Structure 1
Amino acid sequence: MLDQALSEKDTDGRVWGNARFGCYAFYDLDGEVLYVGSASEGLRTRVRRHLTGHRTDAVATRILDVHEVAELELWPIWALEEVGRSDRLRVQNELPGIESAIYRRAVAENQFGPPLNEVTPADMNPATLPPSRRFALLDESIRQERSHPDARLARRAENLARLASTVLERGSANDGMRRALLIQAARFTALAATHLAYVRGLPKPYPAVLDIAGLLDSPEVD
């Protein structure tokens, strides 16, 4: 379904995934934004590197678990399509601003605040987002299979352990990787608590039990 999504056309006949410049967001099985990124070598190329080739740092370090990715949103920046080398400054000014706006929106809307980006997009002046489209990447049978809480917990536990091992191996892992580790651990804990409550026939735990903003003590989640 990824190739189908990247090949869909907008109302002007432009293929969503064929834009040279743009931004994207991956959503998990609960509709939470997992990761936000930008592309300057083509949206299709960048997204596929994450989800099929596994040739990005976010996937290699286990910050991003591709099996949790259920949806994709694309923001192609068609206004930059004909930008030449002499206008690279325009790209450097516009692309980060849009990525930052998408990231900040995700921080505000996500239950657990920041997405799992190792590098936080710079906090820039608010940018007007171009039109976007959100695509499902899993058919219903695969989505149901991957959504089983026990399967997700096992997968997340393995992913969390591998990310922790990466932090250990690197020794001086950067702050962003440790933030991602904390957020992943919180997501794991919340899922485990929610499933336990369901099995016991109890109400879903109140989200404030996990105060991610307080744990991170970060101005971006104020």
Structure 2
Amino acid sequence: MPAGEPWSDDDFFMQPVQKIPKRDQPPAAVKSIRAKFKELMQQPDPNGDGTIGAAKTGVYAFFDYDDEPIYVGQTSSSFSDRVGRHLTGQRSDAVAKFILDPFEVATISMWSVPSIAVAPSAKDPEKKATAAEKRVMLNPYEYTVYLQLEKASRFHAVLNEGEIHATEEVELPIPVRGRIIPDELWEDRKHSDIRIARRAATISRLSQMISEREVSGGMRRTLLLQAKRLAWLAEKRIVEVGAQVPDAEDREITDD
């Protein structure tokens, strides 16, 4: 092409394309968070041998930037696999249904239960328990974590859409807990205005899906809780910047 002449679309697409290696494709921030996640998963499992990420059965919980519990789940595969799928959105119903925004996850707690990983099947003691049997055995641990976090939440609720099966409470094993957001990203990711925008977008997608499908009551409860979380953060931000909260004489923002 002669120098000084503008490029056409055809000129652009005829240029040789240099493929980017897969390891270099994610943005630097994403790679940094993945490195922190990998570091967390390499922590020793206090309840068994090996790393916590390799632990095959247990319960996990996600917390946001205000240390508010936002999601509880169980896994009968490894923590690194199950939790990683949530954070990347790969085959995660909670993410696909706009219940959980991976951007909100700042800290993860994991309780491994190694005895369930090797438990025999109730139907055939010569074989290991099936995934379905392991889920039943994990239910009391998941329920106990859920109750504890529900009490700890300022909203007295967690975002789970699905029912957490009520059981007897059990003594929980030692957890592994760690932050997956690097220090250099913390202030930007924690910024209230950014999180307000994310929550509003999540609510928009979730409410649109509810309007287009037949959904469970749990989905509607999740929508209500997301709206409360958005309102709390928006009001907190007004106080932070020194603006006046509507009907301030009747309302107070607290961390209790």
Q: What's the TM-score, normalizing by structure 1?
A: 0.86
Question: Per the alignment, in what secondary structure is the counterpart of residue 16 of structure 1?
Answer: coil
Match in the other structure for 2:231: 189
Is structure 2 residue 210 aligned with structure 1 residue 174?
no
Show the 5 A alignment for 1:136-155.
136-155=179-198
Q: Cα gap change, 1:120/1:143 in structure 2, threshold over 3 Å: closer, same or farther?
A: farther
Match in the other structure for 2:68: 32
Shift of 1:152: 0.9
Which of residues 44, 48, 53 in structure 2 aligns to 1:9? 44
Match in the other structure for 1:200: 242
Segments of structure 2 that go 5 or more residues without pairing to the other structure are 1-35
- Aligned partners of 2:165 and 2:149: how far apart in 1? 14
Q: Cα gap change, 1:124/1:48 in structure 2, threshold over 3 Å: closer, same or farther?
A: same
Shift of 1:110: 0.4
The structure number with the bigger radius of gyration is 2
Q: Cα gap change, 1:93/1:151 in structure 2, threshold over 3 Å: closer, same or farther?
A: closer
- Aligned partners of 2:70 and 2:238: how far apart in 1? 23
- Aligned partners of 2:39 and 2:191: how far apart in 1? 26
Aligned residue identity for 1:55: R
- Aligned partners of 1:116 and 1:152: how far apart in 2? 16
Question: Per the alignment, in what secondary structure is the counterpart of residue 96 of structure 1?
Answer: helix
Per-residue Cα deviation, 1:158-208 (whole angstroms, up to 9, x for no partner): 1110111111121x2111110110000000000111111221267961468
- Aligned partners of 1:93 and 1:139: how far apart in 2? 36
Question: Per the alignment, in what secondary structure is the counterpart of residue 182 of structure 1?
Answer: helix
Match in the other structure for 1:216: none
Match in the other structure for 1:213: none
- Aligned partners of 1:154 and 1:131: how far apart in 2? 36
Shift of 1:13: 4.9
Match in the other structure for 1:214: none
Is structure 2 residue 143 aligned with structure 1 residue 103?
no
Shift of 1:143: 1.6
- Aligned partners of 1:125 and 1:74: how far apart in 2? 20
Q: Kindly report the root-mean-square deviation, in angstroms, between the aligned alpha carbons of the 2 structures.
A: 2.1
Per-residue Cα deviation, 1:49-93 (whole angstroms, up to 9, x for no partner): 101243211001111011010000011111123224435386344
User: Percent sequence identity over matched residues?
Assistant: 32
Show the 5 A alignment for 1:126-145.
126-145=169-188
Which of residues 206, 214, 220 in structure 2 aligns to 1:163? 206
- Aligned partners of 2:148 and 2:163: how far apart in 1? 13
**8 Å CA contact 2:57, 2:116 repeated in 1:** yes
**8 Å CA contact 2:89, 2:95 repeated in 1:** no
Per-residue Cα deviation, 1:199-221 (whole angstroms, up to 9, x for no partner): 1267961468xxxxxxxxxxxxx
Question: Per the alignment, in what secondary structure is the counterpart of residue 38 of structure 1?
Answer: strand
Q: What's the TM-score, normalizing by structure 2?
A: 0.75
Structure 1 runs of 4+ aligned residues shifted over 4 Å read: 201-204
Is structure 2 residue 104 aligned with structure 1 residue 68?
yes
Aligned residues: 207
**8 Å CA contact 2:117, 2:134 repeated in 1:** no
Question: Per the alignment, in what secondary structure is the counterpart of residue 119 of structure 1?
Answer: coil
Which of residues 163, 187, 196 in structure 2 aligns to 1:120? 163
Is structure 2 residue 129 aligned with structure 1 residue 88?
yes
